[in-house]
Amino acid sequence: MAGELTSQELRFMREHQEYIERVDRGLVELMKAHVSHPLWEPMMYSLKGGKRLRPLVVLLVNEALGPGEEDPVPATAAVELLHTVSLIHDDVIDREDDRRGRMAYYKRYGLDSALLSADFVLGIILDITSRYKERAIGGELARAAIEMSAGEELERKLIKSAQGVTWEEYVKVLKQKTASLFRAAAALGALLSSKPSLSDRFSEFGLELGMAYQLRDDLSDMDRPNELIGALEVPGGRAAERVMTEADRYTAASLETLRDVPPSPALSKLEKLVAEYF
């Protein structure tokens, strides 16, 4: 990822500054409790930058449904920490030198530290979830972590095989590796709202959102043979067209999920987020 933000990313940061700052304050406050830990500084390094897109989904879904009794900010921190440690390991697997315009974690702090970061983050997430009365919070994050690791391993094996990747294999990787955390983010927002019974519905919304996001993101990697999409085989050789069509379908499906939600400023922000960035 390049160090310079695109015009779209800059606009995104401006439009959602209030929420991003809220998430960042929560992360800083949470990490204060671990300042003496030897992995504190490396983790703070990795948390710098990023759009906080997944935590934003937590907050906007929560507000759109009406906030519940429990604060969603710690949950946003758990989501961002899980996302961050997945990037740390992703860079190790892909042998990437840079992340968000800076040296990759394992390049700066070493491979051993990169591996141990997962244990550190796991402990923090367990602590966060243990403080919620809503017991399903931990289950949603656990499910996401399990699916993300499955997707990463499947992708690794498919790329290593040096064979063509079918559409079904490609979609499975995306659903597990990327969409699973968006699914969890939306579900957490609903679970901590005044309408927790809608968590299953918003779980599907998050999955659709994550698929649209990754499909569009992959379009820029189509000519890179070391990327999964570079090995994608679509009948007729029209992979880019298939990817774009499916991305549009998932975006439309996620917007359809929001149709029956009572109008509110937060819902408008959520609809705008989906329409413009997914």
Would you give the DSSP letter of residue 263? P
| SS3 state of residue 33 | coil
pTM: 0.94
Its CATH architecture, for the domain 7-277, is Orthogonal Bundle (1.10)
For 174-188, the pLDDT digits (tens) are 999 999 999 999 999
Give the integer Cα–Cα distance in Å for 135 and 28. 24
Give pLDDT < 70 ranges for the chain: 1-5, 223-226
Q: How far apart are the first and last CA of the chain?
A: 18
User: How many angstroms from the chain centroid is the CA of residue 141?
Assistant: 12
What pLDDT shows up at residue 163?
84
H/E element holding 248? helix 239-257
Give the integer Cα–Cα distance in Å for 278 and 272. 10
What pLDDT shows up at residue 4?
61
For 103-152, the pLDDT digits (tens) are 999 999 999 999 999 999 999 999 999 999 999 999 999 999 999 999 99
| Portion of the chain with pLDDT greater than 90, in percent | 81
**So where are the chain's domains?**
7-277
What pLDDT shows up at residue 3?
52
DSSP string, 36-88: TSTTHHHHHHHHSS---HHHHHHHHHHHHH-B-SS-SHHHHHHHHHHHHHHHH
